[in-house]
Amino acid sequence: MKKPYTVGSLYAGVGGICLGFENAGFKLEWANEFDKKACVTYRNNFEHTLIEGDVMQLDVKDLNKIDILTAGFPCQPFSLAGHRKGFKDSRGNHFFKILDFIDEMRPKVVFLENVKNLKGHDKGNTMKVIQREIKKRDYTFDSAILNTKDFGNIPHNRERIFMVAFDKKFVKKGFRFNFPEKEELTKKLTDLITKEKVDKKFYYTEDKYMYNMLKETVVREDRIYQFRRQYVRENKKEVCPTLTANMGTGGHNVPIITTEFGFRKLTPRKCFRFQGFPDHYKLPKISNSSLYKQAGNSVSMPVIERLASEIFKCIEKAEARQLKAEKV
């Protein structure tokens, strides 16, 4: 029986990348995550080895070699929301830690994910360094910015940059990775937002200072709104605005909807649903603030699954070609 292609996942979070690759037919060998609460959620949903702790302290030689290395590495140094320090920020050194894994394990494929602003950071120089360092190791390098609503059939406006690199010894000369084509968005907000009554802690009641503002503005059940302290913003594109990690820092950052039961925040479960996680994905009994943060920090799983499926096809073709060449 043919051995499955194995995956090692750095900065695994709650497993959005892992689940996408698993659904595409890959075997998860190990994963690493630093955040303790994210590790609780991860362990509720996966059985393979999870190394909890700082990736910078990992000895690469202690881990099993894998076919695919994935890393949704820290985005703060490259985000407009951060200080835009790039590689001068100590967190930017995480990319160079990833290079240690590539050098030691020599995976067939390297899969990286980050915020879309990485592309233009420092006038494009940060991206040039990433591309140069990977190509220097005799890998291909292709990247694209994909939006969840266009590539995951989820009504969520979330753009992320994805980078895919193949070992040149494994693929034919001139190989380019073809990113998936856009697909029609058929799912609507109302397909993901059910209208049942939820716990009262998620509702904005009349004693809340913003209640009258919500009453005046939040009027449609097929739209998502955001409270911006001084005003309420309606998302008129009929998609969910980008979910962010700072949803875990206060209720005002969580999108708002209205139903017959009143105005309320999206529950953590619904936020995970907007990231494409299935409802059987287990959410542990930890604080809602932690779950909101995890949902906002995660990737959109259906987008990952589509990318992983394309990677799987490329590996299959490459191996078939090599097998044919060996028989000649």
Residues belonging to the active site: 75
d(CA 218, CA 57): 48
Residues belonging to the chain: 328
- Residue 291 CB neighbour total at 10 angstroms: 23
Closest CA to 256 of 244, 248, 264: 264
Q: What whole-number distance in Å separates Cα of residue 256 and Cα of residue 226? A: 6
CA of 40: how far to CAs of 12, 36, 75, 87, in Å?
A: 12, 7, 22, 30
Asked if 154 contacts 148 with a C-beta cutoff of 8 angstroms, the reply is yes
Measured in degrees and rounded to the nearest 5, phi and psi for residue 123 equal: 55, 30
From residue 231, give the alpha-carbon distance in Å to each of 85, 195, 212, 218, 228: 32, 25, 11, 11, 5
With a CB cutoff of 8 Å and minimum separation 6, the contacts of 1 are: none
